[in-house]
């Protein structure tokens, strides 16, 4: 009885889900700095040799991990909000802030990805594009808020978009390092005061 | 002729400077993810064995690298500004933003330190305290700005401090990944519009 090494399609998909889950657990506990074939193999209860088949080198593993993180991030954005303008902007920023343990885990993984990303020209482009996609999504809310008179008509829309993205990620990092000082209710207060100041009230 | 292995004091200090310089160069090009004894030894033109004497494990090397980064960051803050209140706050934030290649290198190193820091309870505390020290320094400017009537009297001072720190680090990250979109002049425009909105104008 020989194993041909070519699993049936169903096995392949199931195995991929297992690998994704193992990669995610490694990222959630150790970050990208702790992402190694050995760590993923241990999570998976598999041999490092098997994983070498999937990931011939570290870069392949990191790229795969970023794909997993992208998928999980996108799947968090499915809920449609029934609000527009400034309220929609607030909702979009609340979605990013680490207000729950799940969101804190997600953020911790993204923040930890920046080290390796800054060291690799291809990953710099990938992260630059992710930022640009995020700003595009925020831009529609900012533009609508200006149109609705919720933000000053004189606003430099791209500047406001960069400002709200900056504020949000910067608060993410502070909250990750100091969750006692920045529990969900405090993050929300700070966000609301920030949006109020943008609106000129 | 035996080398006793105990260098004269002057040699020791010179060697320490060399090691610091080599660690810094590795961080600047590869980040904390690329910080290994082998990489530092190569920069130093020394053997990995010699470095094992200084750094018995990876944690010792990372801790030393954080000390070097702290020293270099502190040495950037020597210039005294002759302004107060909102202008002093602006100056303090300009000092952090990656407006020059040197400052971009410094920021890149700090951002890259977050991956390993989040994975190590001791380093979480270290970074939490660094944030708190930074916010304390910013707090004096924010409080003075409120006192001078440059920021609203109703301001939640700690909230404003967290907001300006968040804005600044979030803009740092966006600028590191997309320096074409965020050259120094654009960062400064965005900062000034942000400070204007805080002041209620």
Q: Which residues of A touch B183 (CB under 8 A)?
A: none
Chain B residue nearest residue A189, CA to CA: B159
Closest C-alpha among A104, A99, A129, A118 to residue A27: A104
Task: Report the pLDDT value the prediction gives residue A1, as an integer from 0 to 100.
Answer: 40
Residue in B169, B176, B178 closest to A170 by CB: B169
Whether residue B197 and residue A198 make contact (CB cut-off 8 A), yes or no, is yes
Residue A7 Cα, gap to closest chain B Cα (Å): 35
* CB burial of residue B77 (10 Å; 0-12, 13-18, 19+): exposed
Distance from CA of A105 to the nearest CA of B (A): 11
Task: Summarize pLDDT for B81-132 with one digit per residue, the tens.
Answer: 788 999 999 999 999 999 999 999 999 999 999 999 999 999 999 999 999 9
Q: Do A166 and B167 lie within an 8 Å CB cutoff?
A: yes
Residue B171 pLDDT: 98
Is B84 a domain residue? yes
**Cα–Cα distances in angstroms (integers) from residue A165 to residues A123, A161, A189, A195, in the given order:** 20, 6, 17, 12
Does residue A188 sit in the same domain as residue A90?
yes
Co-location of A15 and A103 in the same domain = no
Q: A110 and A61, same structural domain? A: no
Four-residue CA torsion sign, B77, B83, B88, B90:
negative
What is d(CA A194, CA A170) in angstroms, rounded to the nearest whole number?
Answer: 13
List chain B residues with CB under 8 Å of A171: 162-163, 166, 170
Identity of the residue in B167, B171, B176 whose CB atom sits nearest the CB atom of A118: B176
What gap in Å lies between CA B87 and CA B33, rounded to an integer? 37
- Measure the CA–CA gap between B109 and B169, rounded to whole angstroms: 13
Q: Is-contact B193 A151, C-beta < 8 A?
A: no
Instruction: Quote the minimal CA–CA distance from A93 to chain B in Å.
Output: 13
Which residue on chain A is closest to B125 by alpha carbon?
A177
A144: tokens are: 């609508």
Chain A, nearest residue to B128 by Cα: A177
Q: List, for residues B125-174, the tens digit of each pLDDT value.
A: 999 999 999 999 999 999 999 999 999 998 899 999 999 999 999 999 99
State whether B54 and B130 are in the same domain: no
With 50 as the cut, is the pLDDT of residue A98 above it?
Answer: yes
- The region, left, alpha or beta by phi > 0 then psi within -120 to 50, assigned to residue A149 is left
Report the alpha-carbon distance of residue A167 to residue B173 in Å, rounded. 11
Taking only the tens place, the pLDDT of each residue in A48-66 is 998 898 899 989 999 999 9
- B64 and B84 part of one domain: no
The pLDDT score that the predictor gives to residue A185 is: 98
- The residue in chain B having the minimum alpha-carbon distance to the alpha carbon of residue A194 is B163
A174 inside domain:
yes
Are residues A45 and A102 both part of a single domain? no
Q: Which residues of A touch B160 (CB under 8 A)?
A: 193
Helix axes B9-30, B101-118, angle to 10 degrees: 90
**Does A126 map to a domain?**
yes
Please provide the DSSP assignment of A87-122 as one string.
HHHHHHHHHHS--SHHHHHHHHHHHHHHHHHHT-HH
Domain termination site, one of B17, B47, B71: B71
Query: Within 13 Å of residue A39, how many CA atoms lie on the same side as its CB?
Result: 20
Domain count, chain A: 2
Question: Is there a contact between B166 and A176 if contact means CB atoms under 8 Å apart?
Answer: no
Distance CA A119, CA B134 (A): 26
Query: Are residues A114 and B111, on separate chains, in Cβ contact within 8 Å?
Result: yes
Section A143-168 average pLDDT = 96
Q: Quick one: which of A114, A36, A101, A111 has its CA closest to B124?
A: A111
A99 with A194, same domain: the answer is yes
Domain edge (last residue) among B51, B71, B91? B71
pLDDT tens digits along B3-61: 444 555 567 778 888 999 999 999 999 999 999 999 999 999 999 998 898 899 989 99
Q: Is residue B2 part of a domain?
A: no
The answer to whether residue A74 is domain-embedded is no
> Considering only alpha carbons, which residue of chain A is nearest residue B116?
A33
Which CATH number characterizes residue B120's domain? 1.10.357.10
- The answer on pLDDT for B75 being more than 90 is no
**Per the domain annotation, does B156 fall within a domain?**
yes
The shortest C-alpha distance from B12 to chain A (Å) reads: 32
In a domain, A175, yes or no: yes
pLDDT at B10: 67
Is B58 in the same domain as B145?
A: no
* Residue B195 burial (CB count, 10 A): 20
CATH number (domain holding residue A40): 1.10.10.60
Q: A2 lies in a domain? A: no
Query: How close is the nearest chain B Cα to the Cα of A46, in Å?
Result: 24
Contact between B177 and A131 under an 8 Å Cβ cutoff? The reply is yes
B49/B87 same-domain check? no
Question: CA dist B179 to A97, A125, B99, B147, B176, Å?
Answer: 25, 11, 10, 36, 6
Both tokens of A191, joined, read 């966000």
How many cross-chain Cβ pairs, A to B, lie less than 8 Å apart?
147
Quickly list DSSP for chain B. ----S---HHHHHHHHHHHHHHHHHHHHHHTGGG--HHHHHHHHT--HHHHHHH-SSHHHHHHHHHHHHHHHHHHTT-PPPS--HHHHHHHHHHHHS--SHHHHHHHHHHHHHHHHHHT-HHHHHHHHHHHHHHHHHHHHHHHHHHHTTSS-TT--HHHHHHHHHHHHHHHHHHHHH-TTTS-HHHHHHHHHHHHHHHHT-
Are residues A33 and B33, on separate chains, in Cβ contact within 8 Å?
A: yes
Domain identity same for A49 and A88: no
- A194 with A187: CB under 8 angstroms? no
Q: Which of B118, B123, B151, B175 to mutate: most A Cβ within 10 Å?
A: B118
Residues of B in contact with A98 (CB under 8 A): none
* Structural domain boundaries, residue A92: 81-199
Residues of B in contact with A166 (CB under 8 A): 166-171, 173-174, 190
Q: Complex ipTM, two decimals?
A: 0.91
| CB-CB contact of A7 with A15 (8 Å) | yes
Using CB atoms within 10 Å of the CB of residue B34, give its burial: 0 to 12 exposed, 13 to 18 middle, 19+ buried.
middle
**Are B30 and A113 inside 8 Å of each other by CB?**
no
Single residue among A26, A41, A68 that ends a domain in this structure: A68
How far away is chain B from the Cα of A162, in angstroms, using its nearest Cα? 7
A174 in the same domain as A97: yes
Same domain assignment for residues A122 and A34: no
CB A189 within 8 A of CB A99: no
Q: Which residues of A touch B189 (CB under 8 A)?
A: 156, 159
Distance CA B194, CA B197 (A): 5
Closest CA to B199 of B154, B164, B152, B165: B152
């Amino acid at each position: 009885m020989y194993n041909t090494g070519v699993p049936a399609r169903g096995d392949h998909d199931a195995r991929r889900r297992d690998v994704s889950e193992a990669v995610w657990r490694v990222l959630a506990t150790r970050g990208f700095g702790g992402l190694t074939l050995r760590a993923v193999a241990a999570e998976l209860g598999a041999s490092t040799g098997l994983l070498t088949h999937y990931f011939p080198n570290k870069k392949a593993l990191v790229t795969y991990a970023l794909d997993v993180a992208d998928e999980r991030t996108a799947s968090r954005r499915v809920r449609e909000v029934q609000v527009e303008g400034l309220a929609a902007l607030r909702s979009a920023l609340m979605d990013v802030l680490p207000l729950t343990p799940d969101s804190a885990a997600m953020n911790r993984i993204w923040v930890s990805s920046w080290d390796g990303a800054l060291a690799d020209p291809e990953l710099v482009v990938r992260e630059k594009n992710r930022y640009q996609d995020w700003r595009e999504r925020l831009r529609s809310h900012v533009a609508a808020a200006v149109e609705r008179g919720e933000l000053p008509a004189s606003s430099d829309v791209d500047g406001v978009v960069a400002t709200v993205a900056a504020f949000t990620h910067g608060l993410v990092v502070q909250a990750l390092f100091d969750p006692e000082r920045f529990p969900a209710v405090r993050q929300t207060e700070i966000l609301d005061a920030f949006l109020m100041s943008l609106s000129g009230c």
